[in-house]
Amino acid sequence: MNHSESPKQNENPGLLTHLGAVRWLILGFFVWCALLVLTDLIVHRHLTFAEGLLPIEGRFGFYAVYGFVAYVLIVWGSIFLRKALMRSEDYYDE
């Protein structure tokens, strides 16, 4: 397109190329997640559903586990789906 490769900005190595910085970021993120799930112990929670409809919703870490597991399932599902459905880029042009 109009603005193709320009070598001028090649000098910027970028913050995230430093492995140390990335490790600190990931460590900070793990701590943040741990704190988030621990808030379940101190925050009084109101259930989304009427009493008794979905009691598991009130259990410790339900949303955290659901989010984590859903993400992993999507990745696993996508690996299977890719095997079943992926074709070469010019499949429809053949």
Partner 1 sequence: MSEVHPALILLAGGLFLFCLPTTPRRIVSVCLPALGFLNLLTIADGTLWHITWGGYELTVMRADRLSMLFGYLFHLAAFIGAIYALHLKDRLQIGMGLIYAGSAVGAVFAGDLITLFIFWELLAITSVFLVWARGGERALRSGMRYLVMHIASGLLLLLGAVFYYLNTKSLAFDHIGLNEGHHYLIFFAFGIKCAFPLLHNWLIDAYPESTPVGTVFLSAFTTKAAVYALARGFAGEELLIYIGAIMTIFPIFYAAIENDMRRVLGYSMINQIGFMVAGIGIGGALGINGAVSHAFNDVLFKGLLFMSMGAVLFSTGRINASDLGGLYKSMPWTCACCIIGAASISAVPLFNAFISKSMVMQGVADSGAVAIWLVLLFASAGVLHHAGVKIPFFSFFAHDAGIRCREAPLNMRIAMTISAILCIVIGSYPPLLYNLLPHPVDYVPYTTTHVVLQLQLVFFAVLAFVVLISTSEIDIYLETQKKRGIVGILLLIGKHPPELPGVNLDFDWIYRRALPKSIRAIVRTGGPLVNAFFQNGKALVRKLVMGVQKRHDNRGLFGRSWLSQSNVLLAIIFLAIYLIYYF
Binding mask 22-41 for partner 1 (x = CB under 8 A): ----x--xx-xx--xx-xx-
- The C-alpha angle 40, 44, 45, rounded to 5 degrees, equals 80
68 counts as binding partner 1 under rule CB under 8 A: yes
The answer to whether the CB of 57 falls within 8 A of the CB of 48 is: yes
The candidate with the shortest Cα–Cα distance to 62, out of 44, 37, 39, 42, is 37
- The residue ranges that bind partner 1 (CB under 8 A) are 1-10, 12-14, 16-17, 26, 29-30, 32-33, 36-37, 39-40, 43-46, 48-50, 53-54, 61, 63-72, 74-79, 81-82, 85-93
